[in-house]
Amino acid sequence: MDKETLLKRASSASFKRANGLVLRTINILREKYNELEVVQSVVTESGVDEGEFTDAINFLSLEGYIQLRRIGSHLPADIADISYKECEAKVTAKGIRLLAGGTVDDMIEV
């Protein structure tokens, strides 16, 4: 196996791991919104860097597993438009279903 193939596999595994870790962390208080800066500090302790974190937030949001809103106004948010530090997130019903094993997504390590 060549170096490029190994890097792609490692990156893919890292992406799946980060997605799962971020989703599970947000789920801890599923009935409340969690400030993403706090979530980021927790997952950093598990080895997820800021780039992986923002990639995971973007993916989970686009797939409908989490719902983002602005901290102050509670208006819907997209990290493509504002910093994740200004956002909070909550797991959606689709995200809860995934975590409970009701659905499968091969891009998320649950």
Q: Kindly indicate the confidence band of residue 45, based on its pLDDT and cuts at 50, 70 and 90.
A: very high
What does the pLDDT read at residue 42?
94
pTM higher than 0.85 for the full model? Answer: yes
Which structure tokens are listed for 40? 């980021």
Query: Tell me, what amino acid is at 2?
Result: D
What does the pLDDT read at residue 2?
63
DSSP state of 66: E
Q: Kindly indicate the confidence band of residue 25, based on its pLDDT and cuts at 50, 70 and 90.
A: very high
Q: What gap in Å lies between CA 49 and CA 29, rounded to an integer? A: 22
CA-to-CA separations, 81 to 41, 69, 85, in angstroms, rounded: 21, 12, 12
**Tokens 């990639």 appear where?**
55
DSSP state of 86: G
Are the beta carbons of 91 and 100 closer than 8 angstroms?
no
The dihedral built from the CA positions of residue 38, 43, 47 and 50, taken in this order, carries a sign that is negative
Give mean pLDDT, residues 2-19.
Answer: 74
Q: Per-residue pLDDT tens for 57-93?
A: 999 999 999 999 999 999 999 999 999 999 999 999 9
Q: What gap in Å lies between CA 94 and CA 84, rounded to an integer? A: 21
What does the pLDDT read at residue 30?
73
Complete domains list, the chain, with CATH: 3-99 (1.10.10.10)
